Every structure is written in structure tokens, then in C-alpha cells.
């Protein structure tokens, strides 16, 4: 199968590498051309334009946000214009429910396939094929790309035949993670100000009821008060909370925890923390209670 | 060692049974005498008064709330009055930080030992010695009772030599669990109103990032919309949020998530849900968004 | 001065009538033509297109939301295309800060003037020239239209030379009003559930510290539990909270009260209350606490 | 009528002075005796004990908090012990609903009268008889003291025959005022960070929709960023929010705005602001958004 891959950030690079290593013919495109070199070393071909990357059966996109995806897909000389009928666009970016729905419609008008397949996992999981894939789209298109998902991820969850539902699930998953960060931040502030060692407290939590990496890793960053380097930057977390709340507004679902998370990210950004790891919002409860003082 | 045990609810019964089965001489006391029978069948002796149960080296209490513990310990003919010097009161109830501090002081005045040792775990864990014990108190007293903790729990965390710190840790742990319930309630409302099956969504969460019993069990109750029978009643959850917030106020720690949880419990209670399982607060996001409509 | 007026809802009709009655030559335009008749009876002329209404020195717009204003101003055959250089667009709609900034830029490119002048006041204030005008724009353009503001309003506040600042002030004013509604809703629930008559309570508040129409009127609606007819519909309030929060996100300003208001409007809308008066969010605290039960 | 007056802080001094000036025979008591002198100068007599101040037909108390009132009324050698049957205790302090209910019961047992009559107004209003009195109690007792209320206040609202309802109304009133402070704090942060002058913005609000002293005075302090001297100290505001939330918990009324206010006061206190004017919580939105940066 001939595969196009657009967007070679850390996640995209890992994923495209997996596809190359599995023996597929891969044409890569990235706005900054120098990021293509590692893939070329693995046997990929370089596309000079989005259109060239669209000369494929399946084209993946892994981009930073709505704006980037919208330009790549719907801009002049974009994917909608270049993709063949029956070719499938697999959108792995964490983007809005609304954009995903618009893309589904636009591709459908051109008889192109569209599958939303946002992922859970960090760059190392992408590079080692350990992602969790959350996929949605018409059955025939999902079936076509499923063998590729097996290369990219350890498990694929097909949640709907409407592509945008996958984005809703992905965003709500990021919301769940952010609630873990905030709850750890609040609980650690409380016990620490009460005189309990925060590292010992975290050890207690994560060796009993909360014995999973997500609590251990984020809890560790909060206990260490070290939010660099960013595994996932706060400005991306902020964006995701905005997208969660936007989807919730469209669906008329009040989400009190999400509101608090939104305010935490704004507070962090107002004080220059956009590029810290998003777990840095877990430090704000301590700031509010002047724990260090 | 001669052990007194006061408070034979579901948790206390399991714990006292473990102590009997381990061969200790146990004197039990419960306000409603009929709850003592199962223990007597295991070889325990029945105390007719609190004073009789205090004729021991170590006396455990496992009671419903501050009021009950205060009466048993500090009331006329209570433990403070009856306990021998150097005997140790081990308080396993989930009570306020403030009461625990007062008890530590009062026992200290009489040269009695006091160890706070609230537990994590449900009645089945109590009966099988699988609790997690969170203990705090003066070293000599903790050392004395540690062999008993090994009978009761799978692991003991000694967090401080000030007994009330154990209560702070326990309360903050219950806060952590309640945040899990609320976050699941919000996320499930969102995806379900967006057209995604809530059971499938939960399966996705709990087979990936949130692969622990606490997410599976509470998530399952929320997905099933079945909050009976109560493993842990909502009115106890409400009490615990009050105690968390009270400790936070004393320590001057703002806790936005805890505020939301407090309001959820009040809302549930206002509509007659006090005796449902506390995970029933996870249904309120669906109610607010009229998911069933 | 020749004046165009686009948008003849209840507010626009009142304002355009004032301008006619003051002897100005007014050309009116409304998508639904039948709403123009009352103005024609006052001597206005009817424009059949937006372009015709733009053949004027000053053109007012008073439209429902961003979408409507964007179409009228920036659509094909819209105001940007038709307005003469040096003519001034006065935008009185309650729209987003972002759209106002974009309009300022687009008009500037064509050397057209742009003044944002959202208003405070209900339709009766519009019809009687008792509005409060919040204006912003370049000095020369504001000066040009100030005599018209004196016809429309009892007072004009010029807050900046950047038009979008007027929209920010207007939105924040609506936020202030919504906080009054919510605070009354909460306080009335509390005292009523405690056994105090809510009308008597409101009388106490509004004859002492809160002796202003905004507390009396909204408080009266909440006490009467009567939210029809809508003076200002809940879906517009919901829109305004979205715009406030959107401006706040852009500026990185956490706003905890605004978050709660947002959730109240979503809750109301989820239960079919979009067309009630926006003070209906003041009934939700009673619902949460089951006051009527 | 012979009147006892216990508690000569700034409010109590003003009120007792009014009673002296009106020609009543007043016996004053204050823990710190030197505060009695100004009243003695007006013709009052000094009581050396609470019991002496109770040798009267009506005894007012105006004390700082629950603890002080409980000691004065229910302590050994307190009012319950000393007051004659049919004498009336008029409690003007801002205390908890629960304490007021307990006092009503205790006085009733001794056939003593009890009227709760918390007040709205600052010390200058107390000294000039311009308070608003919120009274509740049995009709016969309220009738007996009403002539005195007419000396103290510009208007009396009798809200119930159950004394504690007056405390509920008073506390909810303080909640209303605190919401004004927070809403001003949030709105001013937003517009100021957006580039609008905060003093000009406040002038706009308070000369239009919010034309009342409460918005002007607190808004002015927030705009000036000057919270000293404290007219009403933040630690008292914090106490009142605790009492509001405590009453709300008892009545099962979720109050989202009150939760936010509580956290604001805790944040302020954690940073050493307990003795600032309570309007200082209105500066926290600016802090969260780093407006000054």
C-alpha cells in the first residue's frame, strides 16, 4: 500500500518510521523540510508539496492543531483538492470535533474516505508501535486502514462510524488525564501544608489505589516540582481544554471540573508557563496556598 | 497481647475477626450488642461497657464519625477515663484532623498511647487482611501495634509521629477517589451525549491509561447507573468532603475540585440520595446535561 | 446627515425610530422586509440591499450575533465592499472582541471609519433615547457620530480608540449582570430552604444595600419563578458568556464566576430553556437544592 | 427600660451610644474594661461582670464570633444563668445559624426571651442610628424590643418567629456583598488586561446599572488597590463564608459562588491578608491573570 504522511513532529516521525520499517512505501511531507531526513534514511520518499504526498492510497496527517490541519486539508492545493476518490485521509491530530465533522463532509463530497484516528501515547510509544488508536469512520475505510493501525498501535478502539466521535473521545481522554494532574496537585498541597512529605504521600497513593503510570509520572513531576522538559506542553493542554469545552458547549453539557482546568491553564500561561509540561498546572494549588512560604 | 475492639460495623467486624483468627485475645464492644455474636463465635469475649473493653494492652476503635468516636473516647465512662497508662488506643475511623489532634492530646495527658490508623479498603479487604493502613503516632506506640497491623493489612504506611497526619492523608485519599468519580461522570456524560456508547468508552479508558480497579468499579457503577447496594454510602462521602474542606480551611489551602465534590454530595442528598453508593455523584453531570432526554 | 440602519429587531427598531424622529434622513435595511414598515411610517426609506443602505455618511448595524454581523459587513455585497471612504460604520451589536478587531482592520484597509458602540438598555430605553452607549474608535470617527449618540442615549462612555475595547466592556457588563442573577438565585434558595419567604427576603435586599432596578427586576423574576416573556433570551446570555470567556482566554484571565455562569446557561439550554429570560439561570440553585420538594 | 449591653467593639459602641443618647438606662460590659469609658461619659453604668449587665429588661450582645457569644451566653456565670425570666436577650452578632438555634432553645428553657437581630451597616451607621435591623424571634419579645430597634436603625425587617432565620438572612446578605466584590474583581481584571482603564470602567458601571454605594465603595478599593484600613476585615469575611456554607450544608443547598468566595478568602489568608479589608479578595483575579506583569 502506498502511504502519504504529512506532519513530522515527534509523534508523526515515530509513526511514519513504523510504517517504513514495516515495508510500506511511504511519501512524507513536512513544512520544514529538514525534519524529513530521518524518514528518508529509512527509505521514505520526500514530497515537495502536499499534492505529491496525496498520490497515495492512504494519507496520514499528524499536525499540531486545527489551524494546521485545516490548511493542509482544506487550503488551496490541499488534500481535498488532490486526494483520489476512494483514497483515505487518516487524521491522527488532536483537533476539534467541529473540524473533524467538517472534514468528513468535505472528503465525502469528493468521494474520498476519512477516518479520524487520534492516539493516546507519547513519542516513545509512537516509535515503538505501542500507541492506543481511537478510530471512527465509515466501516469500509476503517477496514482498509486497520492493518496500518496494527503497525502503529497496541490496540485500536473503533468507537463510531462518524469520524468526529473519535475526536470527542480523545479530547475527553485528555480531560481525564488533566483531572488526575489537578487532583494530585490539590491533595499534595493539602498534605504537604499539613506537614506530610509529598514524595512519601505520592508513594502511598501510587502503591495502593492509584498504581498506574499516569499517577506515578505526573505525580512525580508535581512532587519534584520539575516541569521541564515538556512531554506535552501546557499550551497544548490549554488548547485541548478549550476544545473539550467547545464540544461540551455544542452538546450542552456542563463540566465543572473542565472549567477549573481551563482556568488553571490560563493562570499558568499568564505567568509564562505555556511551554512547561502540562502537569505544571499541578503546582498551582501549592501556589494558591503558599505552601513554600 | 490483649486487644479491645470497639465498633463492629462491616469494617470493624472484618478487622476484629482477623485479630481473633490470629490467636489474639480479643474483647469486643458494640453499642448494638447483637453485632458482637459473630466475634464471640470466633472466640472473642463480649464487653458490656466501654470500660470493660479498655482492660487491654491495645484498644481499636472503628466508628462511623467524629460524634461516635468522641463519645466513646471522651465521654463519661469513656476510654480516656478507663484506659491504663501505656495502653494504646488505635483509632481506625475516618474522622476529622481536629478530633484526632484533640484525642492525641487527651490521651497524652493520661500517659496513654494514641495511634491514628485509618485504612483504605472495603469490608472484604478488612476480612481478608488486605487493607492498606495509614498510621501515625509516637514511634514507641506505633512499634507496639505494628504486628497487629500486619495481621490487618497488606501494607502499613507510617506517615508521621503526629497522629492527626494519618487522618489528613486518609481524608485526602478519599478526596482523590471522589475526583475519579466526578471526572468519570463528566467525561461519560460528554461522550454519551455526543453519541458514543458509555460502556464502550469506559472499556477504552480502563484498558488503557486507567487500568485500575478504582476506575473500573466506579466507572462500571456509573455506566450501569446502578448505585445500590452502597459499598460506601453517599452521606459518608459527604462527611469526608466536609472534613477535607475543614482541614483545608484550617491549613488555608484552597481546593477547587473539593468544592465541586461538596456541592455534588449536597445536590445528591437534597434529592434523597444519601444512602446510595457515593459513586452516585457520578450521575449528576448526566442530570445537568439531560443526557437521557 | 444621511444615515443607514441595518438590523431592525426590537433594539434596532427603537434606535432607528429615534434617529428618524430627530429629523435625520434614514435608510433602513432588514433581512425580513416586513419589519421595515414601522420605520417607513416615520419617514425612513427602505433599502432593498445592504449596498443601498450603505449609501450614507454613517451606517449603524444592530444584529443578533457575530455570524449575522460578519455576513452583513464582510460578505459578498456587504458593507466593506459598498461603504464610501470616510463613511463610518457604527456597530452596536453585542459581538466578540475578535470580530470587532477584524472589522476595524478591514474597514481601515478601505479608509472607512469604524466605531464600536454597544449599548446597555432594554428595548424601551432604545425607543426613548435612554440607552447607555459604550463607544470606542478613532477620535475623528467618534466625534463625527457623537451627535447621533446623543439622540440614542442618555450618556456615552468613550473607552478607547481601539473599537474592540468597547465590545470587551459591553461583554464584561453583561457578565456583571449575570453574576447578579446567579447570586440572587443562590441566596434565595438558601434562605427559602431555611424557611424565609423569598419575596420578603428580596424586599429586604432591594430596599437596603441593593436598591437598584437590576436587583429588583431580576430578583422579582426569580422570586416569581416567571421567566416569560424573555426581555433578553437565555441563548443570548449563553452567547455572551461564551464571548466573555473567549476574550478572557485570549487575554489569559481566569474567571471562576464566568465559568459557573457558563455552566448554568448550558444546564438551562439542555433542559429546553434557551428562550426563557436569561434570569432563568437564577432558578437552577433552587433546582439543585430541591427547594420545592 | 433598663438595658444591658455586652460587647463594645466599634459596632457595639455606636449602638450603645445611641441607646444612652435616647435616654435609656444602660449598663455596659466589655471584656477589656477601658472600652467602656466613652459610654460612661454618656451616662451608662459599668458592669464588672456579665451577671451585672444581665440585671436588665433587655440585654444586647454584639460580639465577634460564635466563640465569644457562646462564652458570654452559655458559659459559667453567663447570661443564661443570670437573666431574669421574661428578660430578653437581643443578639446582634453575626454568628452561625446553629448557635442561634441553640441559644433560642437554652433561653426558652429558662423562660427567657431571645431575639436575633443582626444588622447591616458600618460603624458610622451604628453611631447614627442608620443600621438596617434583621430581626427574628417570638412576637412578644420582638414587640418588646422594637422601640429600641427604632433608635438603632433606619428600618427593621422581621423575618420569622424563629430567631436563627435572622442569622441566615444576615449571612446570606454578606454572601451577596462578597459576590459583588468578586464580580468586580473579575470584570476589572478582564478589561484592564484588555487595555481599558479600570477607574474609568468602574465609573461607567457605577453611573449606569450599578449606581449604589456597595459597588462604588468596594469597586473603588479594588481600583485603587488599597485595602487598608479594613472597614471589615478579611478574616471576618472568611468566617462568614464558612458560616454560610455551614448553613447551606445543613440545609443541603449547593452554592457554587460561595465556594469560590471561600477559596478566595483562604488564598488571601494563606498570603497574609487576613487583616486587610475583605474587598482584597477582589485583587486575586488580577493576581491570577498577572495583570501587572
Report the alpha-carbon distance of residue D203 to residue D211 in Å, rounded. Answer: 9
Would you say C187 and C50 are in contact if contact means Cβ atoms under 8 Å apart?
A: no
Task: Judge whether C267 is closer than 8 Å to chain B, CB to CB.
Answer: yes
Q: Report the greatest alpha carbon distance in chain D.
A: 65
pLDDT at site C1: 86
Reduced to 3 states (helix: H, G, I; strand: E, B; else coil), residue D15 is helix
What is the DSSP track for A180-192? HHHHHHHHHHHHH
How distant is the Cα of A78 from the closest Cα of chain B, in angstroms?
29
User: Count of CB contacts below 8 A, A vs D?
Assistant: 23
Enumerate the residues of chain B whose CB falls inside 8 A of the CB of residue D241.
none
Question: What per-residue confidence (pLDDT) applies to A293?
Answer: 46
Contact C253/A at CB under 8 A: yes
Task: With beta carbons less than 8 A apart as the criterion, state whether B4 and B59 touch.
Answer: yes
Q: What is the ipTM of this complex?
A: 0.96
Pairing relation of β-strands C131-137 and C119-120?
antiparallel
Q: Which of A242, A249, A269 has the CB atom closest to C266's CB atom?
A: A249
CB count in 10 Å sphere of residue A288: 26
* Cα(C33)–Cα(C41) distance, integer angstroms: 14
Query: How many whole angstroms separate alpha carbon A69 and alpha carbon D75?
Result: 72
- Interior CA angle at A260 toward A257 and A265, to 5°? 125
**Which residues, 6+ apart, have CB-to-CB distance to C270 below 8 Å?**
A252, A253, A254, B288, B289, B290, B293
Burial state string for C180-197 with b = 16 or more CB within 10 A and e = fewer than 16 = bbbbbbbbbbbbbbbebe
Of B242, B252, B259, the CB nearest to D269: B252
Max CA distance (Å), chain A: 65
The pLDDT score that the predictor gives to residue C293 is 46
Hey, which residues does C119 pair with through a beta bridge?
A: C133
A245–chain B nearest CA distance, Å: 10
Residues of B in contact with D266 (CB under 8 A): 248-249, 252-254
Q: How many whole angstroms separate alpha carbon A41 and alpha carbon A109?
A: 37
Interchain CB distance below 8 Å, A207 and B155: yes
Q: What does the pLDDT read at residue A279?
A: 98
Distance of CA A111 to the CA centre of its chain: 27
Rounded-to-integer distance, Cα B286 and Cα C179, Å: 25
Which position among D67, D144, D165, D170 bears the catalytic label? D170
Look up cell 426590537; give the residue: C10
In this structure, what DSSP letter does residue A83 have? P
Contact with chain C for residue A138, Cβ under 8 A: no
Closest alpha carbon within chain C to A253: C266
Interface check for C169 against chain D (CB to CB < 8 A): the answer is yes
Q: Nearest to residue C185, comparing CAs of C269, C261, C262, C276?
A: C261
What percent of chain C shows pLDDT beyond 90?
Answer: 98
DSSP string, B162-174: STHHHHHHHHHHH
Residue in D with minimal Cα distance to C289: D253
* D29-88 pLDDT per residue, tens: 999 999 999 999 999 999 999 999 999 999 999 999 999 999 999 999 999 999 999 999
How many beta-carbon pairs under 8 angstroms link A with C? 45
For residue B200, CA distances in Å to A286, B151, B186 come to 36, 40, 16
pLDDT at B264: 98
Is residue D247 within 8 Å of D95, Cβ to Cβ? no
Chains that touch A (3 or more CB pairs under 8 A): B, C, D
- Of D77, D101, D291, give the one whose Cα is nearest residue D197: D291
Query: Is C242 in CB contact (< 8 Å) with chain A?
Result: yes
Shortest Cα–Cα distance, C260 to chain B (Å): 11
Question: Chain D within 8 Å of A288 (Cβ-Cβ)?
Answer: yes
Which helix or strand (DSSP H or E) is residue A262 part of?
helix A256-270
Question: Cβ contact (<8 Å) for D285 and C255?
Answer: yes
Pairing of strands B2-6, D25-29: unpaired
CA C8 to centroid of chain Cα atoms? 13
**DSSP conformation letters of C102-156:** HHHHHHHHTT-EEEE--EES-HHHHHTT-EEEEEEE-HHHHHHHHHHHHHHEEEE
Residues of chain A positioned with their CB less than 8 A from the CB of D265: none
Q: Find out whether D73 and D61 touch, Cβ atoms under 8 Å.
A: yes
Judge whether residue D120 has pLDDT over 80.
Answer: yes
Alpha-carbon gap: A102 to the closest alpha carbon of chain C (Å): 18
Name the residue in chain A with its Cα closest to that of C274.
A252
D190-205 tens-digit pLDDT? 999 999 999 999 999 9
Instruction: Give me the residues paired with residue C90 across strands.
Output: C60, C115
Is residue D26 a contact partner of residue D58, using CB atoms and an 8 Å limit? Answer: no
Q: What is the pLDDT of residues C56-88, one digit of tens each?
A: 999 999 999 999 999 999 999 999 999 999 999
- Measure the CA–CA gap between D94 and D116, rounded to whole angstroms: 9
- Give chains near B: 3+ CB pairs under 8 A: A, C, D
Cβ–Cβ contact A133 with B under 8 A: no
What pLDDT shows up at residue D1? 86
Res B1: pLDDT: 86
3-state SS class at C176: helix
Separation CA D159–CA A77 (nearest Å): 73
Residue positions of C annotated with a catalytic role? 170
Q: Which residues of C touch B270 (CB under 8 A)?
A: 288-290, 293
> Rounded to an integer, what distance in angstroms lies between the CA atom of residue D96 and that of residue D88?
19
Residue C23 three-state SS: coil
Reply yes or no on whether the pLDDT at A258 is more than 50: yes
Residues A213 and B61: their CA atoms lie apart, in Å, by 35
Among partner residues D263, D288, D293, which is closest to A267 by beta-carbon distance? D288
Q: Does D31 touch chain A (CB under 8 A)?
A: no
Residue C245's φ and ψ, nearest 5 degrees, are -70, -30
Measured between CA atoms, the residue of chain B closest to residue D269 is B252
| Contacts for B216-221: CB closer than 8 Å, 24+ residues apart | B218/B177, B218/B180, B218/B181, B218/B184, B218/B279, B218/B282, B219/B184, B219/B188, B221/B277, B221/B279, B221/B282
Q: D63: closest CA among D50, D52, D51?
A: D50
Q: What per-residue confidence (pLDDT) applies to B293?
A: 46
Question: What's the length of chain B?
Answer: 293
pLDDT less than 70: residues of chain C:
293
B265 Cβ neighbours under 8 A, 6+ residues apart: B234, B237, B238, B241, B278, B281
> Residue B266: which of D242, D252, D264 has the nearest Cβ?
D252
**Do the Cβ atoms of B285 and A254 come within 8 Å?**
yes
| Alpha-carbon torsion (B121, B141, B8, B70), positive or negative | negative
Among left, alpha and beta (phi > 0; psi -120 to 50; other), residue D56 is beta
Angle at CA of residue B104, ends B98 and B107, nearest 5°: 135
Residues of B in contact with C256 (CB under 8 A): 256
Q: Best mutation site among A259, A260, A269 for testing chain C: the one with the most C CBs within 10 Å?
A: A259
**Domains along the sequence of chain B with CATH:** 2-162 (3.40.50.720), 169-288 (1.10.1040.10)
- Residue D64 main-chain phi, psi, to 5 deg: -75, -35
Q: Rounded to whole angstroms, how far apart are CA atoms B24 and B43?
A: 9
Chain C residues with CB under 8 Å of B267 CB are 288-289
The answer to whether B247 contacts chain A (CB < 8 Å) is yes
Of C266, C267, C290, which has the smallest distance from its Cβ to B271's Cβ? C290
CA–CA gap between residue D25 and residue D46 (Å, rounded): 11
Residue ranges of A 68-107 with Cβ closer than 8 A to chain B: 97
Candidate from B176, B180, B193 with C-beta closest to A253: B193
- Identify whether the C-beta of residue B156 lies closer than 8 Å to the C-beta of residue B256: no
Closest CA–CA distance from residue C29 to any residue of chain D (Å):
31
Q: Please answer yes or no on whether B266 and D254 come within 8 Å at the CB atom.
A: yes
Regions of chain B with pLDDT less than 50:
293
- CB contacts, 8 Å: A155 with chain B: 207-208
CA distance D205 to D202: 5
Amino acid at each position: 500500500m502506498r502511504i502519504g504522511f504529512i506532519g513530522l513532529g515527534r509523534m508523526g516521525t515515530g509513526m511514519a518510521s513504523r510504517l517504513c520499517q514495516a515495508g510500506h512505501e511511504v511519501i512524507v511531507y513536512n513544512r520544514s523540510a529538514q525534519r524529513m531526513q530521518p524518514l528518508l534514511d529509512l527509505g521514505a520518499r520526500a514530497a515537495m508539496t502536499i499534492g505529491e504526498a496525496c498520490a497515495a492510497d492512504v494519507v496520514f496527517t499528524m499536525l499540531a492543531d486545527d489551524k494546521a490541519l485545516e490548511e493542509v486539508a482544506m487550503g488551496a492545493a490541499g488534500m481535498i483538492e488532490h486526494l483520489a476518490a476512494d483514497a483515505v485521509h487518516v487524521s491522527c491530530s488532536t483537533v476539534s470535533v467541529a473540524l473533524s465533522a467538517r472534514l468528513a463532509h468535505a472528503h465525502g463530497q469528493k468521494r474520498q474516505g476519512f477516518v479520524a484516528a487520534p492516539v493516546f501515547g507519547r513519542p516513545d510509544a509512537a516509535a515503538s508501535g505501542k500507541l492506543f488508536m481511537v478510530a471512527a469512520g465509515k466501516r469500509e475505510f476503517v477496514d482498509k486502514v486497520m492493518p496500518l493501525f496494527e503497525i502503529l498501535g497496541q490496540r485500536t478502539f473503533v468507537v463510531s462510524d462518524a469520524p468526529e466521535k473519535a475526536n470527542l473521545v480523545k479530547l475527553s481522554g485528555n480531560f481525564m488525564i488533566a483531572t488526575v494532574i489537578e487532583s494530585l496537585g490539590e491533595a499534595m498541597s493539602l498534605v504537604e501544608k499539613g506537614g506530610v512529605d509529598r514524595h512519601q504521600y505520592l508513594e502511598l497513593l501510587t502503591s495502593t489505589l492509584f498504581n498506574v503510570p499516569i499517577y506515578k509520572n505526573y505525580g512525580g513531576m508535581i512532587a519534584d516540582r520539575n516541569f521541564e522538559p515538556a512531554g506535552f506542553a501546557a499550551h497544548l493542554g490549554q488548547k485541548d481544554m478549550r476544545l473539550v469545552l467547545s464540544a461540551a458547549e455544542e452538546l450542552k453539557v456542563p463540566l465543572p471540573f473542565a472549567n477549573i482546568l481551563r482556568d488553571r491553564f490560563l493562570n499558568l500561561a499568564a505567568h509564562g508557563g505555556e511551554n512547561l509540561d502540562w502537569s505544571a498546572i499541578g503546582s498551582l494549588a501549592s501556589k494558591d496556598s503558599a505552601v513554600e512560604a
